[in-house]
Structure 1
Amino acid sequence: MKTLEAISTIAGKYFAVWVIGIAMIAFMAPDPFLTLSGYITILLGVVMFGMGLTLKAVDFKIVLTNPLPVIIGVCAQFIIMPLVAFLIAYLLNLPAELAAGLVLLGSVPGGTASNVMVYLAKGNLPLSIAMTSLSTLLAPIATPFILLMLAGQWLPVDPMSMFMSIIQVIIIPIVLGIVIRRYLPRVVEKSITVIPLISVLAIIIIVSAVVAGNASNIASAGLLIFTAVALHNAFGLLIGYLTALALKLDESNRRAISIEVGMQNSGLGVALAAAHFGPLAALPSAVAAVWHNISGPILATYWSKKQVNLDQPFNAEVPESENKAQI
């Protein structure tokens, strides 16, 4: 078990390296990875099950005790990111599938890797966890509705079918993980350190499948896709911070909201795009799986060196999900 824990820690620590490496291999030699596309939904369910195993009732406490920052953050996430994606798609004149895929990336909830980034950035960690959890629970309603409003002009959107997909690959695995943690806590505690390894393996398989299936598209439009994703991420981080600043939240809350708004659950974006729009639409989320895990640590490292003036003491408890790479 100690060997697995050590491997798991290394897998989480160098997550971006593994994702970039597997993406390059899948691009140069796609054939061995093409058969993996049928497992994307199952693998994302495994990652979400792992998230459920780490959730506790205390993670939602801030929603009841100090709901305003959570509400502001979640609203910003589901308003800023879809609209920014919509504008970028128009300004860059993206093809229909890529445009819909970028809007989809902007419409999914926050990724759990953001919790680790907020911790490293000396942000409000309980707020970050609450935002990730609440936005994920709201996704079955919010994501299909936003896509219907913003992406329907490019590709047909079936909101009910998408609602059911999110329930199946996100909500059910998370709830199952929470239930197992509640009734089998000792078993969960013994295995929790291996979750990062499982998550990393699932994510690199998802990324490799999408890259392999779109190798020719990446060769012809790779720079355009990367530009769109990088701009989307940068504007999300910036506008998220400015929104919190304009509403006079303290620095720790600004950092948490910035990172939460800027980092999406790109795994869900890949799964939904592949299932409802086609493989090309999954590319923005696949690129985001790599880029968010590069830009996030860069910003977190910068902020970690800046003093935070808090109205309340910084919660320095290390999140259970630290080093757990999820998208």
Structure 2
Amino acid sequence: MTHPPVTFFYPYPDELARCHTWSLTDPEPWSVEGQERRRAWILQTYLHMQAHGYDVRIDADLPDTGIVVFIPEEESLQALNQQYDEVHRALTFVTVRADVIEFRSSWADAEIVQNGRFADGKRSFFVPHWPQPGIIPRDAARGTTIKHITFKGGFGSLDKRFRSDAWHAFLEDRGLTFEIASKHTQGAVPRWHDYAQADLMLAVRPLHGDGGQRCEKPASKLINAWHAGVPAIVGPEYAFQELYESPLDYIEVRTLSEAMEAVDALRADPERYRAMVEHGRRRAEAFTPARIAERWGDVLFTHVPKIAAARAWAHRLPLSLRRGLNVATSRPSLFELRKMGGHLVRSVFASS
């Protein structure tokens, strides 16, 4: 079966010139805060898909035909708007919703979301984030010892209670150390991949201002911990909860005292600790690059072409008029067009 060509749109020519030399097992190119999001979702996806035999390309320029995948950050959107012309109207756009709750490109034909909260299987599709490149697993010689706890992420992504005097007093009293792996503590390229000396992985972000559940993030911290063989203590996030199958998956905490209790409980129960490590490795098998590439392939080569075929009517329109129209796969009715005041839209459809 012939599929429309797939292009990953990445308007950063300097990075494109170098990315073909970047290894997917070398953590350095993929651990630069401020660039990690676009590199992971676009560059890594292109390289992984290519490595697994999928016919995809990457370019800083829009192609004339096919499917275009991009992340709707300011620079990418600006470049897309500058390049887009009448010749590009037949393009099918797939955006990646990364770390935002609202859909930022209402004119896109489909989107990839990083957990299932916003997926509908019709226009929005959940594809897991890639595992952190170059993960160094926990040293098996450490056994069930719990001495070192790690947090992998931006400094502001850690709940401030884990920077408090109470937390540090708890750690000191038990002879534990705590690492915040971020650019604030480890420089421009933090060691997000290194779990060699980690005994527990902590992933507790601040709740939203109203105390609401975090639902915009992927489950990467948990999945990376599974790959690394490190038990996880996590906050009440949607992405973690939707993967929950067993008490051995992780320990969820909502308060500082609950986190302290979880640490003490695992210190007192080596068998549970060992079981969590073994169970996590089994869970990680569902989140290998090969399995995730299959998910991408299913979306890009099965679902999106069907959406494109059903939405051929929208591709007659200038990009500015596609905004607000792509909320459904069916062509808008005459009443809807009048409501939008779209005389140009009506003229585009006049010959059909």
Instruction: Answer 1 or 2: higher relative contact order, Cα 8 Å, separation at least 6.
Output: 1
Query: Do they fold alike, i.e. is TM over 0.5?
Result: no
Give TM-score scaled by structure 2 length: 0.24
Higher strand share: 2
Give TM-score scaled by structure 1 length: 0.26
Q: Which has the larger radius of gyration?
A: 2
Higher helix share: 1
